[in-house]
Amino acid sequence: MSEADPKRPAVAGPNRNLVLPFTTPLLAGTRVRPKGEGGFELLVPNPAGGRGFYVLDPAAVPLLCHRLTLHDQLLLEELAVLQDSTPAGIRRAARKVALTGAAGRDAAEAARRTADREEARVQLAELLLVSRVLAAAGIPDFDPYTLDPSDGSRRAWLKARLAGFAHSLGIEANALIDDLAELAVHVAAVGFPDEKFTGRHEETVKRLERLACDLERWAAVESEEGAARARRIAERARATVAEARKALAAARALFADIPALLRRWHAGEREVRESLLLCDWLLDGWIEACSLWEAASREPRPHQRAILEQVERVLPLTREEIAQEERRIVDEQDLLRRRAVRLYEDWRSGIQVDEWLVRRERLRAGAAA
């Protein structure tokens, strides 16, 4: 298990919208959110470059964009059958598509490496969690590194030693072991409060801090419009870092009392799940933003300005932006509006479409969902 359990009830995030890693230029920055009656709807940034979004069913995307990349066609197919509306669910769908090679061989290989790395992180997190549980059960001298995660007899070994502890919690031993496996996924993300174990979110937060510093330095020698955009993104990045650190502290605090956490988790307390998932929602979209800017670090300034516009498009929506969201229906009149541009040029940024596709495929290889 390398992501949150899709069988668990979904937890609403702060904004309830998630960035999708589309490679078609027109769909850059598109978000997905669950509909009240089930299923999903997409929030596509205004193709004219203005404020607002097209809100449409995934099946209607071809009306807006006639030439989807193969990667995006497959991603829409995955979205049509997706049941898990959390960031983990979107990552699973995106990684599954990347593994097909539809975004290029580099992206497929990167997705495999990411999946392997995440599985190893979860296995280590589970060993450390088991060590804490055994200590709480009165077996303090256990070395977690002596337990092979691939050993089929591990479950029986744990069951024999945790039977009494599980009974004291009012949980069946097998169910307790299953709960530990589920919680290990969250430990891999948030880490422990007093352990030399870096969770996935901590790495993202540090990356986000570097992004803010880079943009502030870049803005110091930039023209007015570009500098304002860079500072705006940097300010949002620092605000997200502050929120994420608070969320991580709250999530890690839950592991200070292992027996209480296990009881609450097994009972399905919504507050516990929300606390463990909150940082995942807060950081959604920022990995792609960081990857875009890092890839442009050696580019000429004019190109960096165009990329900075794309960075801003993939940032998570703020509550204010959602409240002011413009709902528009795609109709024939919208689609008939045209502007003359050079062949294969994205008129909003000036970047050639073939160059953009290569950039997006490289980005998918770097981020690997």
Q: Tens-of-pLDDT digits for all 369 residues of the chain? A: 445 444 444 444 455 688 888 988 888 888 888 876 677 889 888 777 667 788 888 888 888 888 899 999 999 999 888 888 888 888 899 999 999 999 888 889 989 999 999 999 999 899 889 888 988 888 877 776 676 766 667 788 888 889 999 999 999 999 999 999 999 999 999 998 877 788 999 999 999 999 999 999 999 999 888 999 999 999 999 999 999 999 999 999 999 899 999 999 999 999 999 999 999 999 998 998 999 899 898 899 999 998 998 898 888 776 666 655 544 444 434 443 444 444 444 544 445 545 555 555 555 554 544
Residue 9 domain flag = no
C-alpha torsion 18→24→27→32, nearest 10 = -30
pTM: predicted TM-score of the whole model, two decimal places = 0.80
Q: Is 334 helix (H, G, I), strand (E, B) or coil?
A: helix
Count structural domains, the chain: 1
pLDDT of residue 200: 94
Give the chain's end-to-end CA distance (angstroms, integer): 16
Residue 12 domain flag = no
Non-local (6+) Cβ contacts of 279 within 8 A are: 189, 190, 201, 244, 247, 248, 251
Burial of 129 (0-12, 13-18, 19+ CB in 10 A): buried
Using alpha carbons, list the distances in angstroms from residue 246 to 67, 190, 289, 302: 42, 11, 21, 37
Cα separation, 270 vs 78, whole angstroms: 27
Cα separation, 45 vs 350, whole angstroms: 17
Residue 44, CB half-sphere, CA atoms under 13 Å: how many?
A: 23
The rounded Cα 189 to chain-centroid distance in angstroms is: 11
pLDDT of residue 80: 86
Non-local (6+) Cβ contacts of 106 within 8 A are: 361, 362, 365
Phi and psi (nearest 5°) for 45? -55, 140
Cα separation, 334 vs 350, whole angstroms: 22
pLDDT of residue 360: 55
At CA 3, angle to CA 53 and CA 238, rounded to 5? Answer: 55
pLDDT of residue 343: 42
**Is residue 53 within a helix (H) or strand (E), and if so which, with residue range?**
strand 53-56
Check the CA dihedral 26-31-32-35 and report its sign. Answer: negative
pLDDT of residue 342: 46
pLDDT of residue 6: 42
Residue 70 domain flag = yes
Cα separation, 121 vs 92, whole angstroms: 16
pLDDT of residue 338: 42
Residue 290 domain flag = yes
The amino acid sitting at 167 is: H
pLDDT of residue 313: 82
Beta strands in 213-258 (DSSP E): none
The strand pairing partners of 252, in sequence order, are none
pLDDT of residue 238: 97
Cα separation, 30 vs 21, whole angstroms: 8
Cα separation, 154 vs 148, whole angstroms: 7
Non-local (6+) Cβ contacts of 167 within 8 A are: 173
pLDDT of residue 368: 44
Cα separation, 269 vs 183, whole angstroms: 13
Residue 143 domain flag = yes
The boundaries of the domain holding residue 253 are 18-367
Residue 6 domain flag = no
Residue 11 domain flag = no
Residue 2 domain flag = no
Cα separation, 127 vs 138, whole angstroms: 17
